[in-house]
Amino acid sequence: MRKLLLALACVISLGGCATVEALFSISQFATASISNPVTPDMLNKIELGMRIALDGLKTYRQSCIDGLAEVNCRRNIVAIQAYTRRIPPLLTQARSFVRNNDQIDAIVVYNQIVALIANFKSAATAAGVAIKGV
Partner 1 sequence: MDAAAILLIVEKGLSLATLLIQAGISAEPEIIALLQMVTGANKGTVTPEELAANEARLDQLLADFNADLPP
H, E, C per residue of the chain: CHHHHHHHHHHHHHHHHHHHHHHHHHCCCCCCECCECCCHHHHHHHHHHHHHHHHHHHHHHHHHHCCCCCCCHHHHHHHHHHHHCCHHHHHHHHHHHHHCCCHHHHHHHHHHHHHHHHHHHHHHHHCCCCCCCC
Question: Does residue 18 interact with partner 1 by CB under 8 A?
Answer: yes
- Which residue from 31, 33, 36, 44 is in contact with partner 1, where contact means CB under 8 A? 44
Question: Does residue 56 interact with partner 1 by CB under 8 A?
Answer: yes
Q: What are the residues binding partner 1 (CB under 8 A)? A: 8, 11-12, 14-15, 18-19, 22, 25-26, 40-45, 47-52, 54-59, 61, 63-65, 74, 77-78, 81, 84-85, 87-88, 91, 95
